[in-house]
């Protein structure tokens, strides 16, 4: 015998799991999974944060298109003179904010002249205003440039010592103590741009403005600290929070940046995921300038904006005008002003409003675990509906869990497990399509010799339900055996080709009857037919259908005999035995030849039932177990209590007296009465009341069974049975 179908299926599914795992790994290496996860991340963040307002602690002043238009008559075309920003600081000084942070680079002097020349008055005003305002933060850039002819001499310059001493957190908060940073490793930059020297000396704080997009151009993450050589500078969005915390140390533990009283989650690359705010309602730069002019004029009523609105807030100043080219593509807005990114970082730090990404390994682990789980469930699901439901339920569960965790600020990878579900579903459906197609064809070939076309189509359509036939299963069936009486002597008197012609016509007629009643042909044994009901198509009334088939086989025999007489054959007679019980059903045989058949004691008993038809002269006999399962009103008379060869337990056998669908009520009543009379005869016989049994028999119609019992009664009158007699007729032959 070959390998079991379960073992073969297991190998197929394991092979599919390996192929899909390799495919998933390949997609990961190609970056496709990462791109899909980035899209899924953007969708979730936009879904959760589209209506989230920027917290009140943070404000944004936009240099918008309206400001460019309004200021053109006052300050000229962009770029504006630096004194404009000095006036802005004058406005804020009336009710000092916690910080005013410029997302505007002032890396070069605006006026003419080199470093030794006097400052332009506008630059000078900005320097003075900065020096007078302890809350000002100016922007610097730290970046990594590729060498070329223009910048080669700039790359790798050391940061000015005063920058490191004043703005590196290790010196700014930790007084330069060794070991301020624990296990904090960041990639180093090789170029920098700082505020022009006078402004650099005047500014009380400095923040790095650089934010880099991901590979797809979307800004999702920032570095909170930027490295240049051995020095670190804080990001523009982090400086105000750090100046407030003034941490005595910083350390990295796993995916967390830790400092006294705070743990800031980071991803596996040391970046901080920005938890964006979808609604950033900022102030217009021109509106503040208009308010300042009215304040200077003494018009304090109905100001467009009051300086007190910014008291103790962190204020960012940056561009939002399209022409200033500082619009960024983010998960919540395809054209978000760059300054809003820094504002979001500051608000996140102030509120502790962090997104917490799971470790990098969680994505592959979740994907591969989901792949295996979905394949396992689809492999064990037998119903098509369940196979469709498994990936849908898995995907829905992942989506629901992921969104719930995302609402709790926990970033669980979504695209990898969903991709795994999709691959598992497609792979499983492809495997099922291929294997089930072959399986259906195999079952159709195997079962076509046993089943009617109508039943065969049902079996093929539900082939998975019959897969256990490969390994066998216990079934409760009704078995039929039929045999041509006297066929051996008949065949000896006919040429071989005539015997084959007779059998083919007879088998065709009988097979048609069996198939019409949803029976399964087990085999043809010489001139005998073995069939059963209740498998592979399960039917509740298998005893009824088997008996109806037996009765119609007897009726069809008249047509067969008419055909035989026309061709010069002698007529034939048949005997049919029926029995109902538990059997073992399966494909039994060798690897080269299998038979879909039933085996067991109840099969043997059914065969004995057919042999008894000769002894009792009845065309059809059925056992008491078959009679007990009949639901049709079939009148049956008791024939005997017998112990067949090879069995110890006796069994009652019965003869059907008519076809229930051919009898009218009167005839049915008459036959029921006849069956009742025979039951009375049998009772008297078994209780040794010979006279009563003979009297009752005398009133019954003559037939072979009546003759048999009259002979038995005559015998027992002459020679009474011993005390051990129990009325059972023991058969010594098959």
For 212-239, how does the pLDDT look when each residue is reduced to its tens digit (9 = 90+)? 999 999 999 999 999 999 999 999 999 9
pLDDT grade, residue 1 (50/70/90)?
Answer: very low
The pLDDT assigned to 123 comes to 92
Compare 521 and 451 and report the one with higher pLDDT: 521
The pLDDT assigned to 24 comes to 86
- 605, 623 in Cβ contact below 8 A? yes
Q: Is the pLDDT of residue 468 over 80?
A: no
**Identity of the highest mean pLDDT range in 11-25, 435-449, 466-480, 571-585:** 571-585
The pLDDT assigned to 126 comes to 95
Q: Is the pLDDT of residue 80 over 80?
A: yes
Q: Is the pLDDT of residue 550 over 50?
A: yes
pLDDT, mean over the chain: 89
- 635, 657 in Cβ contact below 8 A? yes
Query: DSSP letter at 266?
Result: -
Nearest to 653 by CA among 613, 692, 680: 613
Q: Say whether 597 sits in a helix, a strand or coil.
A: strand
Question: pTM here?
Answer: 0.66
H-assigned helices in 175-233: 197-202
pLDDT grade, residue 453 (50/70/90)?
Answer: low
Burial 165-199 (b: 16+ CB within 10 A, else e): ebbbbbbbbbeeeeebbeeeeeeebbbbbbbbebb
pLDDT grade, residue 74 (50/70/90)?
Answer: confident
DSSP string, 473-535: EEEEEEEEEEEETTHHHHHHTS-HHHHHHHHHHHHHHHHHHHHHTT-EEEEEETTEEEEEESS
In this predicted model, what pLDDT tens digit does every residue of 310-323 receive, in sequence order? Answer: 999 999 999 999 88
Strands (E), 157-246: 181-182, 188-189, 191-193, 205-208, 221-222, 225-228, 231-234
The pLDDT assigned to 76 comes to 85
pLDDT, mean of residues 369-387? 85
pLDDT, mean of residues 610-634? 95
The pLDDT assigned to 292 comes to 93
pLDDT, mean of residues 703-724? 92
The pLDDT assigned to 441 comes to 52
- 554, 619 in Cβ contact below 8 A? yes
Of 100-109, 112-121, 405-414, which gets the smallest average pLDDT? Answer: 112-121
pLDDT, mean of residues 121-134? 94
The pLDDT assigned to 336 comes to 95
**Identity of the highest mean pLDDT range in 19-23, 97-101, 144-148:** 97-101
Of 382-391, 404-413, 614-623, which gets the smallest average pLDDT? Answer: 382-391
The pLDDT assigned to 114 comes to 60
The whole-angstrom separation of Cα 726 and Cα 333 is 97
pLDDT, mean of residues 659-684? 93
Compare 179 and 603 and report the one with higher pLDDT: 603
Parallel, antiparallel or unpaired: strands 574-589 and 620-623 = parallel
Of 1-5, 388-392, 418-422, 550-554, which gets the smallest average pLDDT? Answer: 1-5
pLDDT grade, residue 175 (50/70/90)?
Answer: confident
Q: Is the pLDDT of residue 209 over 60?
A: yes
pLDDT, mean of residues 516-530? 91
Q: Is the pLDDT of residue 685 over 70?
A: yes
pLDDT grade, residue 429 (50/70/90)?
Answer: confident
């Amino acid at each position: 015998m070959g390998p079991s179908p379960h073992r073969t299926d297991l190998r197929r599914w394991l092979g599919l799991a390996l192929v899909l795992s390799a495919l998933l790994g390949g997609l990961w290496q190609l970056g496709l999974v990462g791109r899909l996860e980035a899209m899924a991340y953007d969708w979730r963040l936009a879904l959760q944060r589209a209506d989230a307002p920027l917290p009140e602690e943070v404000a944004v002043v936009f240099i918008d298109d309206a400001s460019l238009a309004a200021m053109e008559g006052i300050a000229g075309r962009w770029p504006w003179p630096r004194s404009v920003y000095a006036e802005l600081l004058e406005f804020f000084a009336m009710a000092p904010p916690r910080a005013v942070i410029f997302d505007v680079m002032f890396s070069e002097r605006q006026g003419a002249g080199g470093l030794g020349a006097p400052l332009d008055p506008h630059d000078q005003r900005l320097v003075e205003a900065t020096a007078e305002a302890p809350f000002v933060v100016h922007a610097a850039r730290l970046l990594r440039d590729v060498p070329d002819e223009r910048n080669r001499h700039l790359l790798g310059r050391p940061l000015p010592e005063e920058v490191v001493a004043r703005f590196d957190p290790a010196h700014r908060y930790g007084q330069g103590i060794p070991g301020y940073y624990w296990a904090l490793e960041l990639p180093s930059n090789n170029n920098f741009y700082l505020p022009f020297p006078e402004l650099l000396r005047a500014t009380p704080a400095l923040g790095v403005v650089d934010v880099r997009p991901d590979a797809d151009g979307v800004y999702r993450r920032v570095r909170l600290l930027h490295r240049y050589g051995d020095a670190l500078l804080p990001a523009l969005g982090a400086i105000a929070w750090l100046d407030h915390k003034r941490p005595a140390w910083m350390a990295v533990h796993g995916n967390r940046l830790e400092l006294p009283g705070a743990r800031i989650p980071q991803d596996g690359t040391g970046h901080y995921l920005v938890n964006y705010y979808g609604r950033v309602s900022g102030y217009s730069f021109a509106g503040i300038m208009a308010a300042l002019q009215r304040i200077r004029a003494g018009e304090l009523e109905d100001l467009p904006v009051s300086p007190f609105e910014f008291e103790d807030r962190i204020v960012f100043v940056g561009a939002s005008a399209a022409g200033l080219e500082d619009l960024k593509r983010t998960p919540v807005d395809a054209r978000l002003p760059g300054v809003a990114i820094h504002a979001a970082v500051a608000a996140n730090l102030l509120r502790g409003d962090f997104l917490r990404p799971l470790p990098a390994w969680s994505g592959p682990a979740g994907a591969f675990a989901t792949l295996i789980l979905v394949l396992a469930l689809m492999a064990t699901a037998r119903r098509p509906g369940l196979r469709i439901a498994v990936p849908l339920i898995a995907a829905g569960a992942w989506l629901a869990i992921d969104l719930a965790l995302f609402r709790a600020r926990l970033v669980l990878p979504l695209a990898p497990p969903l991709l795994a579900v999709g691959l598992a579903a497609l792979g499983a459906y492809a495997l099922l399509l291929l294997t089930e197609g072959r399986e259906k064809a195999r079952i159709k070939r195997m079962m076509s010799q046993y089943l009617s076309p109508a039943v065969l189509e049902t079996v093929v359509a539900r082939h998975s339900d019959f897969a256990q036939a490969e390994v066998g299963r216990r079934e409760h069936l009704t078995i039929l055996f039929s045999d041509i009486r006297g066929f051996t002597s008949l065949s000896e008197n006919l040429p071989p080709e005539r015997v084959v012609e007779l059998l083919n016509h007879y088998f065709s007629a009988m097979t048609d009857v069996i198939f019409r009643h949803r029976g399964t042909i087990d085999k043809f044994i010489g001139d005998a037919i073995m069939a059963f009901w209740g498998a592979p198509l399960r039917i509740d009334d298998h005893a009824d259908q088997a008996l109806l088939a037996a009765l119609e086989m007897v009726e069809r025999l008249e047509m067969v005999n008419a055909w035989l007489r026309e061709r010069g054959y002698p007529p034939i007679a048949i005997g049919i035995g029926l029995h109902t019980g538990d059997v073992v059903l399966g494909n039994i045989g060798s690897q080269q030849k299998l038979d879909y058949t039933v085996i067991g004691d109840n099969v043997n008993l059914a065969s004995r039932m057919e042999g008894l038809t000769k002894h009792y002269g009845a065309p059809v006999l059925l056992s008491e177990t078959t009679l007990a399962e009949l639901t049709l009103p079939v009148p049956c008379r008791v024939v005997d209590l017998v112990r067949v060869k090879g069995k110890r337990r006796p069994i009652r056998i019965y003869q059907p007296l008519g076809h229930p669908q051919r009898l009218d009520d009167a005839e049915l009543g008459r036959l029921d009465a006849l069956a009742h009379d025979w039951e009375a005869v049998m009772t008297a016989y078994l209780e040794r009341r010979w006279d009563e049994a003979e009297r009752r028999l005398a009133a019954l119609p003559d037939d072979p069974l009546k003759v048999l019992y009259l002979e038995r009664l005559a015998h027992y009158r002459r020679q009474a049975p011993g005390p051990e007699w129990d009325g059972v007729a023991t058969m010594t032959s098959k």
